Structure 1
């Protein structure tokens, strides 16, 4: 039965790309979790259904941090849901969720972003500026097409193949226009050998820019910076949620907690009674 289940893995991964619009990196993580799980799960076959016991696998990965375990189990649940939707009857055993502590995202301050841009080449400045002023995921930047860029808006293809329109600053548009004039891309804004530039290449560019000023920064942190800046300037959370392409507003609310944490830190530094001993 494991062979039969494993044979559906490729179809499942293809569905993640075709119907959910997942990035190559995300699909790879799903694939690794499923292959690993199938080595350890116990398959119990009955007359009309099959049970997949996750306990042996959960024991195997129990040393990992809760967030990693949760992601692996989520990948398996999604895979089993796919199998059930394609004619198989599989139930999960030992599928209890685990509590994952919510960590606040770590945005980069506007000051540090400007500092990094002072030492960036034109191309590097464009990549960082787009991520910071549009709040894109790295996969969305990699797949950004010329036809989706207008004078004032950018149409973004996000998760689940859902489109959203994000306002384009005039200063960012000027950088894009100069880059297009100098490089003449054909389909995608960023290309290599007539194909879209890989996410890893764009990610490396961001890492390199901030490394020069002694910071370790990921593209996703620039997305956090975008969201936090908008919310701290009193942008409505519903608007920010839509601009980020979040499926629910609950995902965006973590940034409001971050804003409160920053306000608390600033208050502790500023109030005359909040010395080190009192606060």
Structure 2
């Protein structure tokens, strides 16, 4: 079988961290790289630096100073219309056609600090965004289009996706209302959460570690916020490579001036 490697990485400013991306790409060699929180306008994306990494095709949804998503690919991309899934029309979603499937790249809102939508507009926005995703993918499920969803979902859904399930139940990213909303989206689109298809539920998986920790590795208070999902049409291809098909590059979190997220890569057999 031939395959395609798909990477997702919240880069937390693509212009600042382009050298780190280049160093990582030289080692990981992804075919398609989906970035979130690029923090620049579309025309400010450092395309030349990415061309030097071997990418030739780009799809950018930028925003001044914040948010923003981008896809850099070694394979041709088909530009697909925006679906206006963000209630505030922020640059948090894009979709393209690549290698015979439809690829969605998401940067779901973090939601602020107080898990009460009545007093926290940022959390209310997050929940509204999730509701829109549920409706959207429920409406598309019957079409049986091969879909891959990646990105920073800003939700760690399962007990061992966080360093302490009990202590984080009231912390945004792991509250029951968010976890339930994400599960409704997964069920609406009949998606498979590839990481948990390949790695047992009782095994810890993290993709994010706070900047607040003096020594992130020693503390290891992580969360799995970055995800790769596939629709039923691609399930077998996503799991064909076994556990080794999915990798969290957590060593990158120790590099100089790192993002607080690590890249996640799936080898999808086609």
Shorter-chain TM-score bucket reads under 0.3
Q: Which has the higher contact order (CA 8 A, sep 6+)?
A: 2
Instruction: Report which of the two has the higher share of helix.
Output: 1
Task: Please report the TM-score for the alignment, with normalisation by the length of structure 1.
Answer: 0.27
Task: Please report the TM-score for the alignment, with normalisation by the length of structure 2.
Answer: 0.27
